[in-house]
Amino acid sequence: MSASRQTITLRLFGAGGAFSRRYGTTCSMVTLRDGKRWLIDCGRQAPDQLHAAGYAWHDIHGQIITHCHGDHVFGLEDFAFVRYFETHDEVMASSRGGPLPKYISHSAVRDEVWETLAPSLRYLQDGRGNLRAGTLQHFFDVIEPAATEAPRKNPWNHSETFEVDGLRVVTRENEHVPGKPSCALELNVGDDVDPKNPRIAWWSGDGTVDAAFLHSIEPRTSIYFHDCTFIDYPGQVHGFFDKLEALPEAVRRKLVIMHHEDNLELYRSRVEVAGFRIALPGHVYDLIGGQQLV
């Protein structure tokens, strides 16, 4: 792993919405100053997206999950099994004593992730006759929250904060499908950790536009990535563009739209007039300075 880097970067492997064919399901890679790589979400196309970008699962230090929908988690089984069974370069298979990839999500999301993975991952034998002894912890080093914020309207914690190996991330309940655990992420990108007022890069996961909240964190936010849809409907669960367009200019200038539909180009001029940038597969952003690098 290389020596200390100047910045923290985020590379988008997939930048499209749930049913995107053109832009791919969501999976991004955050590379910290020490070179450690973390994935944000792991959609159903993630195994092939990583391979096409020249990475193996063994190059990934840890995984962060925002919520349990197939376009965000259906690549996880591949990640888990490949790291468990396969040795790659100098990284040993985890079943043979190699390192487990780290795993971070809000605990309510983690429960749903395990419900999704269990039919595949639970068939490990414990040597005492139990053929279904497998747990998420057999495949990932599951990180427990360092701090929690009590529930507001839902039964799960409003936020959980994780700190591990130089990464600090807050997973905060957002509004996606009513009743379903889902989180936005606040990635600490500050040099000095000030727990009360950390400098962050903000990632919406999937969720509706919370204008007051986005405005409130603007002074300490270097860059926002927001789920975006151009289609409105009753019971909206995504970031409707008209609502993004109505955000204060200071927020819009820092905001990159992602998780968009395949007909994005129809709206490009409107998007650019509003001052947004558009995330596409292969783009790389500097999470400290907020600018696009590639």
Q: Which is nearer to Zn ion, 71 or 77 (CB)?
A: 71
The C-alpha torsion from 5 through 224 and 248 to 199, rounded to 10°, is -50
Chain contacts with Zn ion (rule: CB under 5 A): 18, 69, 71, 206
Query: Rounded distance, CA 160 to CA 178, Å?
Result: 19
Q: Which is nearer to Zn ion, 160 or 261 (CB)?
A: 261
Residue tagged 């020596």 (tokens): 3
Smallest distance, Zn ion to C-beta of residue 141, A: 25
DSSP state, residue 179: T
Smallest distance, Zn ion to C-beta of residue 259, A: 6
Q: Which is nearer to Zn ion, 67 or 168 (CB)?
A: 67
Q: Which is nearer to Zn ion, 61 or 69 (CB)?
A: 69
Give the pair of three-digit tokens for residue 104. 């971070």
Smallest distance, Zn ion to C-beta of residue 19, A: 9
Smallest distance, Zn ion to C-beta of residue 25, A: 8
Angle (CA) 94 95 101, round 5°: 25
Query: Rounded distance, CA 244 to CA 227, Å?
Result: 10
Smallest distance, Zn ion to C-beta of residue 248, A: 26
DSSP state, residue 270: H
- Give Cα 205 to chain centroid, integer Å: 6
Q: Which is nearer to Zn ion, 18 or 185 (CB)?
A: 18
Smallest distance, Zn ion to C-beta of residue 207, A: 8
- Give Cα 79 to chain centroid, integer Å: 15
Ramachandran category for residue 97: left, alpha or beta (phi over 0 → left; psi -120 to 50 → alpha): left
Q: Which is nearer to Zn ion, 17 or 290 (CB)?
A: 17
CB 200 within 8 A of CB 186: yes
